[in-house]
Structures are given as structure tokens and as C-alpha cells.
Amino acid sequence: MATIFSVNGEDGATLARSSGIRLVQGDSQALVLRNQELATRNGQPGRNAPQALRGGPGGTLAVQLSESNLSQGAIRVERVEYRSAQHPPQNAEVPVGRDLNLTAIGGTGESGHNGGDGQRGQDGVDGTGATKASDATNGTNGGRGGDAGRGSSGGDGGPGGAIHIIVHENNTHLLMAVSCDVRGGQGGIPGEHGEPGAGGSGGKGGQGWKWDEIVGYTPYCTDSCIKSTDHASNSTTLARMGTNLNAAGSHLNASSRALIARTGALTVSGNNLQNMIAQTAIRYNATRQPRRGEGYCKCGGGTGSCAGCGVKPVIKWFQRQPGLDGKEGEKGTSITTPLAAGQQGEGGTVSIAVISGDGSTQAYSAPWSLELVDFEVEDENGDGVFEPGEHVFIRRIKVRNVGGMPSPTCRIPVTLANDSEWFGSVPAHQGGLAYLPTSVPAGESASTEGSIKVRIKERTRGNSKPASLATRFLAKDTLNIRADMPWLDRRMPSFDFTKEIEISYPCGLGGFEFLSTIAQGAVSRVQYKVQNLSTCPLGERGATVPVRAVEVRATFPADYGRLIGEEEEEEGVEVIRAVPCTRPKDSLSLQQQFRILSSARSHTHFPITFELYLESPNQDATSETLETILVERHTVRLQVTNTYVHTPNAKVLLITNPKTTERQSQAIQHFIRNTLRMEMDLCNAHQNGGLLRSAEDVFAEPYPITAPYREKTIIVLDDTFEFFGTGDRTVSQLFDPRWLSEISRSGTSSSFIGCDHENAFDMIVRAAVLPLPLKLEEAVKQLKKARTFSSPHELVDSIKQEKQFGSARPELSAIPLKQQKWYRFGRDKSDKQAKALATALRNHLPNERFLVTCMGQKQRVPNRNSTSATDTSDEQMRSNDGLLVVLTGLDHHRPVWSTESSVSLMAVSDDSPNRARLDDFGKYNIISALPVHERISLLWKNPYSGNFIPEAMTLSVVRDLFQQMTGLMDSAYKRLVCLDENDIEAIQAFLKVHLPYLGHILNTPEAKQAVSAPEPVLEVLRWTLAFTASMKRHRRLDGLIRVIVKHRPSTRNLNVVALSFDSAMRPSNALIQRIAQLTRTPENYFTKGQRSASQVVPRTRHCTPREWDSLVRSAREWRDRVQDDMDYAQKELGRMLVDFTPPEAAELSTGQ
């Protein structure tokens, strides 16, 4: 609210009404005259609007201000003079907290007026219709519409008035509550022009007329015509003439309308009807009367008609056109001149007369106005860090006088604006108050001499998050100040400047380096840095230069090991270390050694906590007790794992990682060791520094940890983890493809569980299945003679022999390119031959995988190592013809699987790791990861109780068999299975090459004994025969398998019913359904969540030489990256592991 003294000018509309210029107006449209004869049919124009009046000028007002004698903080106002139609009060008391508004605003201009609308023009008169004797008349035009009336612009606003303020120099602070308004009046809004009248409608023309007339007669010949050959008597002739006349008359009466000419009607205008009839008769050779000529008729040798001719009338339509319609009247004229709002009136004037103590007066045109420009903030101890619990000082508060006169002479106090989340005010007597500079000249700036003391609040749960892992405390808050005018007791405006302050501590922890995985019984270290973030030294108490003490407290869980003090003999679960003096903006590297108990549980995660304490800013210098505050807490989490040791009779190698939990590890070990009753080894890829193992001979090269596990199982937990600072890795990314290729070729089955990086799995499998040794040019140079074949059939036969003898290896083979015909020179067919060879290999050996390319004559480089004449001639032959190069890869009988789902455990109420058990899906994945020959052997022996393991093994073997038989169906070679059913050896050789899993089932020692096969084996045979019976290609395979089954003693007595399949579904679909039911897992986990090497590299394919070299380059880059990762890992292990023998676990358990 405000107290108002006003001498505003009057509005233009008020002036117009009070002076009688404006009367109450009616409709502004022109009057329309009705039922009167008018001199014109045009509409009347609209009325023009009058001009708007300008607003009245603001008046003059002079007042004197002083502090009230009646109320503290009130203002007394005395009117000294005024000139205005309005009468402001003589005296007034402005209450505390209320503003004084002095106004001398010019009057608002009158609004513009609207012009009248033009009258509509009258309609035209309709014309008269046409008759046979007269034409139709036209309609008359419509009248023109009346013109639009002109509107008027808005009136200008009146000028502002004059305000004079008189005040003593000691009371200029009262001007803070005063506002003056001497604006010019607002201009009036514009009016609008009238709308022009619409034109009248034109009159309609008179209607036309149409009728028919007989314009004449034309003769026509009849039987009664007189011919020159006639010699009849006159009586006969006359009789015929009479007959003809009668006939003509009768014809005219009956058919006159039908003889009307089929032409359009003729238009008649004016009085030319008879003339038109005559002209029409002439046009049709008609006579006006029905008379006949004398003499012979033209049909009898005469020249015209005769008395015997008949006559017919000529009838024609005539019409008179309708009259034309009158035109629409024109619309009246519009007015397009723009109308504008009135101009705002000129502003008035404000003058302030300040009376000094000596009686002199100084005039100003505007009051003073102080605005906050800047201030500086300093911390209490001068270390450049604003930390909780200490004080800050707001100094050099800078204000600028943007007004027109000096600021008040009284002292204006300035304080903290309000308490915030982190800042709290300090009482005035303790330094929480400062004063603004006085009498600041207009347009100049000045700064305070004193300061405002502000307290930074302590850390609480409400204003800060709890210290957590690797979290350095940092908070932000805003400092803002306020100035309050004395006497008026109100907050000064324009003090919006603020500063954001970062609140932290002058020291912190950082640069932590540690091994994520530590072996049982190992001694390692955590390296870290204590950083001094301030501009003052920090460190041990009692130094020559007084500094604040800093301490680091490390804690270690007793179940996992001990911390080692600065003296190696000092061990415990807690170590407190004083930090040496650290220079400003510098850091100090420290380390904390620790020992892992040999009895610590493997694959468990434990924390080591580091807490940084700083001497309190409020520490009493005379006190011997050190008061500290917790600055930061940093927790590092490590994993304990066992050291890898190879067990000779281990059948399974489990490769874990830092993310493997104890429950997962225990559940897998329990299932393999206790349920499957197999020995197993564990290796943590991070703790081992990769997948290489140092040889016992220090001079020997390290070897892959997978090398000893031939014909065994390797299970990889393939989570993503950080690998020694080289980035995120999975175990599959630490594999060299050559290692995977070597163990797969030896019969080892590999399973990657929880594969986080599908591209990594695909890359390593692709490079392992097709292990390209060298670039194409270099590989061909090292090609062996024994691997050069003359034709694809010779190559296929050689590979079949190798498969039967068990000597197949990934090697390069070559076939010379066929020579081109002379008439095809210039066309390179080598690529086409390579594609044809790839198709032939895919058809003859569908379960093998080859990579086929070609090397033409231009690409061949002679082998410079060849010296003999035979070598030279052979090399020259190959150089001239070019080669088809074939790389023999891993076949589809080498199982390598990945499962995107990680190890899943059964839900149990007890969280003890010893109670962790795999769920059925996890058990099935491990069973299916066993080598096929191992599972088949267990199916024949069936050493397990219960139904789950035998059924899981059965279904997993069937699934692998289905994959081999599915590969056969990719072959389009019709004679692939054309074997003699009586040739058992040939069938066995076929199975060994194309279906080795089935051959292994039927060639085990148990199969050759006269003991009935166990039910799991029979179940495998049922599934197999069901699949072969459903094959659309190579249907003879079903009969061959039945022959070999009947040939074995263990299955010889089986009848058809014993091998019948009891499902109506397709065998492949029914198999997935059975596995899903057994494991209680959705089917899509098997169809989409698992990926095999056969899906990554499904079949033999062709590639260009450039693609061959690109694959070699990619595999080489992968191997180099793996080697770099492991080299760096070994370097870090050597740096972070402490090299001395740890004490026995029993001794450690007694330490504190």
C-alpha cells in the first residue's frame, strides 16, 4: 500500500464530455430512405468521424518531507504549493512501511472514433418478355454502394507535470520511500474506418419467345406426274390432277408437322419477320403458294413440276432472344489510410531541493539510488579453503550510486541477508555487522572499510550426504547480504548481487591404486595420495611452522587378514598414521600394506576403509588434546581368491573374475565335485594377471593355463571387469584365438557363461575356427607339396582320410586354377572358381569349415627358398596358373558355446555360501559343457542316481547330434549318403567323418558287448531316428543308421516299438521344449540366449585375397592387444605384491 499525492491531468474523453463537444451519438451508419423516389439508385456514403481530443497536462505539486514527530519510522508530508484541477491534502503522515507516491501524470488521449458504413445500392428493374411481334427488353443495372466513412486516430496523451520535493540534508534517507511519476499520458487507441456499401443486384432480362411458321411449299413427283410419253385424254389427265390435288391436300393436313426441317430455329429481331420468311423459302426452293407448273414434269422429260406433282409445306422455327440481365452495382469506395494510436505525452520534471545546515539549497533532478556491485569473501585462517566450522569475512562491499544526488549522510548497516543451508549469521557485537559508505556522489562507487563475519555451519545429516566410497566432500551455497535503511527500517533494493561459495576441506584422499583380486596368503599394498588443496602447509603437529595436523586411519576386517604397520612386526586390524608435512597445493604418496589370511574364504569381497582426519579449525592452541574432524572416507573393495594350481586328474577348469561371488563359486564347485564327482581347478583371470602361466624353468616361455586341459572342460565366467587400468575386459577378451583353437582341436569343450560382450566372443571364435597363420602371399610361400592337389575331389578324399585316421589339422591346401580358353582371355575367372570350390567343399563335407580364396597369376610370387629344379618347375607352374587356396578350419564337432545368462542360483532362505546351489538351468549348462565323449561314456555307465543328470546328459547329447545332422542337410550333394547298406565298414567310415558323435555312441566298448543298451542310450537313438525320419534331404541316412544299430550286439534285439518316437512335434522343436521343461526355463533362453561356434561360423565360405589379409590383420591386432594387456598386468602385479613369505594362518589368527 502507498500514500498518494496526485495532480494528474484529465483524460481527453473527460474533457470532451465536460466541454459539450461530444454528444450521445446514435448509429454511425447513413440513414436508408425507404418508399421514396430517389434521384439516383446509388447508396448514401457513411459519416466521417470527428478528431479525438488530446489528454490534459499534469499539474504542479511541491511538498516538503521530514521525519514524523508522532510515530517512529513515519514520514510527515506538507503540501507547499500545487496547480491542478485535483486538490491534494495539505498535510499527511505516511505510516511505517508505507511508500509515498507523488504523481503528476498527463491525461490519457481520447480514443479515436469509428467512421460510418456506406449504404447498399438499390437493385435494378427486370426487363419485359418477348412476343411474336416484339423483342424482350434488358434488366437495368444495380445501384452503386455508398462510400465508407472515415475514422479518426487516437488523441495524443497530455504532457507530464512537475513535482518539487524539499528535504533537509539530514533527511535525504526519506527519499528511499518516495516515488515520483511524471509520465506523459498514454495516447488514445485508434478508431476504425467504416465499411463501404454493397452494390445493388442487377435486374433480370425479359424472357424470349419461340414459334413455327410455314414459309412455303415444295413439289414432289407422284404417279400422276405428266410425262412426255403420255397420250391420254384430257379427261384422264384432269382426273389424275384432281386425284393428285386431293392427295396433296390430305398429305398436308396429316403430315405437316412431320415435314418440319431438322434445322435450328432462326432468330428474329425487330420487324424483319416477313423478310426472314421470304429468305427461308428461297433457301429451300419453296414457293409462297402451292401452285404447279404447266407442261411435263421433270421426272417425265420436262423441266419443272407439273400439274400431277404433289406439294408439301416447308415449316421453320423462329425465335426472339431473351433480354440481358443488368449488372451488379459496384461496391462503395473503401478508405485505406492507416489510423494510428495517439502519441504518448512528454514526460514531466522532478526536482529535489536539499537544504543544507547553513541554509543553502542544492537542486537535483533525481533521488539517490545505491546498488550492490561486488564484495569479496575471505576465509578465517587464510588457507583459501572454506571449510565447515570456520568463519568467513565479507569485505570490501562495493556500492554504486546510480541516482542523481549524493547518498544519505546517515550510516546504513549491512548484514548477512539470511541464514542458509551452510551459512549462519554472527551477532552484531561479534562482527556480524558493517556500514555502507555515506554521501556517495552520484555516478560514483565506494567500498566499506569494515567486514561482515559469517559462520560456516558444521556438517550434519541434513546438509551433507554421508561419506561414502570414493566421495570427497564438496558443497555449494550462496552468500547474499542486505542493507536496512535506519528510521524507515526497510530493506534497500538493488542488493541482488550474490556469490556462490564452494565449501570443502583443505585436504583429501585420492590416487588409490590396488589389486582388485588378492590370493590367499599374499601380502599386497594399497597406494594412495594425501592431497593438500589449500594455500597453507598441512601435516604433523609440532613442526617448526604451526600447521594443522592430518591423520589417516585404515581399518581391515579381521576375518580376512591384518594391516601391517610402519614396522613390519606391527600388525592389526587398525592403523593410524600421522601424515608428514605437505606443502601447499601438493600431494604426498603413502601406502598401506596388508596380509591376507590363508584361511580367508575364496571369491569373497571385503572392504579396506581409509578415513582422513584433520585438526579442527577451532582447536585450542593451549590444549594438548588434539581435536579432529572426519574429512573423508574412502573404501576400496577387494576379492580374495585361491592361487591357481593345476591338478593332474582335474576334468574341469573354472575361470573366474573379480565379479564372481563366493556363492556362485561354491555352487559350481559343489555341483561338479559332489554331484558329478569330478575334480576341478579354479583360476581367477585377474589374480593370475591373464591366462598365461609361468613355466617352472625361468628361461622358458609362459604357457596358457588352458594347455593342460585337453579333452576336458573349460568353463568361463565372462563378466566385465576392470583389468589393471587397461580398461574394461571380459575373460573372452583375454583369450588368444590360437589357444582356443588348439584346445578345441584336442577335444576340449569350452563354455562362456554370462557373456557380457557378444562381439568379443564372436571375434575370438571366428579367429579360432579359421586360424589364419599369415597373409596370403606369405602363406602360399610356405605351402607344402603334400598339400597341393590337382582337383577338388582329390582334396576331399585326402580330408576324409585324415578324419578317419584322426590326423586332421588346420592347414593350407592348394589346387591349381584351371587355364582359361584363348577366346576368354582378359576375363579373370579365378574368383568364380574359388566360389565353385567353396560350394563343392560345403556339399561334400558339410560339417567341416573351410575358407577358400584364390591367388591369380599377378598375385603369385615365386618361393625364393626353392632351389631344386623340381621345386622351380612346380613353382613356375603354380605361378603361371594361379592357385585356389583352402584353409581347413575347425569342424562343427568342436563345441564352443556362450550363454548370455550369468550363473543363476536356487532361491534359499539361508544366505550361507556353503548352502548355495545351482538352479536346473545352471546345472544343465555345466553338463552340456562336458565333452561329448565324456557324456556318452557316462550315458553307457549311468553312475548317477536320480533322473535329472541322466536326462540332462541325454538331451544335451541329442542336441549336439541334431546340430551335426542339421549340417548334413546343408549339403546339396545327392550322393552324399549313397552307401551300400551291407557295407558296414563304409557306414562306420561315413559316421566317423560326418556324424562322429553318433559313431562314438555305437563304437564304445559297451556298445560292442552283448548287453542291452541302457535307457539313456536308447533315448538318444530314438531322438536320432526321429530326426533322420523327418529329413527332406539324404533320407537314406535313416536306413543306414538302423542298419548299424542292428549290427551292434547291445542294440541288435531292439524292435521297432523300442525305437519309436512318441511326439507329434518336429524333433528339433520337441527337443527344445523337453529341455525347457527339464530346466524350468523359457525356451527363448535356449533359442536366443545361447550362441555356438556353429552360429558364428556356420559353414564353408569364400573370401577375396584382400579379405583374407584383413582377417589376418584383425587376428594379429587382437593377439597384440592381449599380449600388451598381460604384460601390463604382470608389471602391476610385480609392483603391488610384496615379496616376502607370509606367516602361518594360525599365527595370524591370534594377532590384533
Q: What value does the mean pLDDT take over residues 889-913? A: 80
Pick the closest to residue 183 from 104, 238, 259 (CA basis): 104
Confidence label for 357 from pLDDT (cuts 50, 70 and 90): confident
**pLDDT in the model for residue 58:** 94
Q: What DSSP designation does 718 have?
A: -
Own/partner contacts of 795-804, CB < 8 Å, gap of 24 or more, are 795/841, 795/886, 796/840, 796/841, 796/844, 796/845, 799/845, 799/848, 799/888, 800/845, 800/989, 800/993, 803/992, 803/993, 804/989, 804/992, 804/993
Q: What value does the mean pLDDT take over residues 638-655? A: 94
What are the tens digits of pLDDT across the range 156-196?
999 999 999 999 999 999 999 999 999 999 999 999 999 99
Do 743 and 714 meet the contact criterion of CB atoms below 8 Å apart?
yes
Those residues with Cβ within 8 angstroms of residue 1117's Cβ, 6 or more apart along the chain or in another chain: none
Q: What value does the mean pLDDT take over residues 771-782? A: 90
Domains of the chain, earliest start first: 1-21+39-202+343-367 (no CATH), 209-320 (no CATH), 368-458+473-503 (2.60.40), 507-641 (2.60.40.10), 652-772+1116-1139 (no CATH), 776-888 (no CATH), 922-1079 (no CATH)
Cα gap 937→926, rounded to integer Å = 16
Task: Write out the three cell numbers for 514.
Answer: 590396488
Q: What value does the mean pLDDT take over residues 1063-1077? A: 86
| Residue of 946 and 466 predicted with greater confidence | 946
Cα gap 770→271, rounded to integer Å = 113
| Residue of 597 and 1055 predicted with greater confidence | 597
**pLDDT in the model for residue 291:** 66
**pLDDT in the model for residue 463:** 66
Res. 1144: pLDDT tops 60: no
24-33, 170-179, 474-483, 767-776: which range is least confident on average? 24-33
Confidence label for 543 from pLDDT (cuts 50, 70 and 90): low
Do 150 and 118 meet the contact criterion of CB atoms below 8 Å apart?
no
Cα gap 541→89, rounded to integer Å = 75
Confidence label for 308 from pLDDT (cuts 50, 70 and 90): confident
Q: What value does the mean pLDDT take over residues 566-581? A: 87
Q: What value does the mean pLDDT take over residues 731-748? A: 94
Percentages helix, strand, coil for the chain (3-state, rounded to 5) are: 25, 25, 50
| Residue of 93 and 912 predicted with greater confidence | 93
H and E: helices and strands count for the chain: 22, 46
**pLDDT in the model for residue 827:** 54
Do 798 and 789 meet the contact criterion of CB atoms below 8 Å apart?
yes
What are the tens digits of pLDDT across the range 242-285?
444 444 444 444 444 444 444 468 888 877 777 777 777 777 77
Q: How far is CA 940 from the centre of its chain?
A: 56
877 CB-contact burial (10 Å; exposed 0-12 / middle 13-18 / buried 19+) = exposed
Confidence label for 828 from pLDDT (cuts 50, 70 and 90): low
Cα gap 725→686, rounded to integer Å = 12
**pLDDT in the model for residue 292:** 64
Cα gap 616→619, rounded to integer Å = 5
Cα gap 992→994, rounded to integer Å = 6
Res. 869: pLDDT tops 50: no
Is residue 1042 within a helix (H) or strand (E), and if so which, with residue range?
helix 1036-1047
**pLDDT in the model for residue 883:** 92
**pLDDT in the model for residue 873:** 41
| Residue of 235 and 664 predicted with greater confidence | 664
36-40, 219-223, 664-668: which range is least confident on average? 36-40
Those residues with Cβ within 8 angstroms of residue 335's Cβ, 6 or more apart along the chain or in another chain: 115, 148, 149, 150, 151, 193, 194
252 CB-contact burial (10 Å; exposed 0-12 / middle 13-18 / buried 19+) = middle
Pick the closest to residue 484 from 422, 408, 394, 426 (CA basis): 408
Q: What value does the mean pLDDT take over residues 72-99? A: 93
503-517, 668-682, 847-861: which range is least confident on average? 847-861
The Cα-based distances of 304 to 216, 297, 826 in angstroms read 17, 5, 98
Do 803 and 993 meet the contact criterion of CB atoms below 8 Å apart?
yes
**pLDDT in the model for residue 287:** 73
| Cα dihedral 735, 737, 742, 747 sign | positive
Res. 1005: pLDDT tops 50: yes
The one-letter code for the residue type at 876 is: Q
The Cα-based distances of 502 to 390, 456, 633 in angstroms read 13, 11, 19
- Upper half-sphere CA count for residue 807 (Cβ side, 13 Å): 5
| Residue of 653 and 863 predicted with greater confidence | 653
- pTM of the shown model: 0.70
Task: Report the share of the chain in percent with pLDDT over 90.
Answer: 61
Pick the closest to residue 353 from 81, 63, 7 (CA basis): 63
Res. 92: pLDDT tops 60: yes
Q: What value does the mean pLDDT take over residues 487-510? A: 93
**pLDDT in the model for residue 877:** 42
**pLDDT in the model for residue 373:** 96
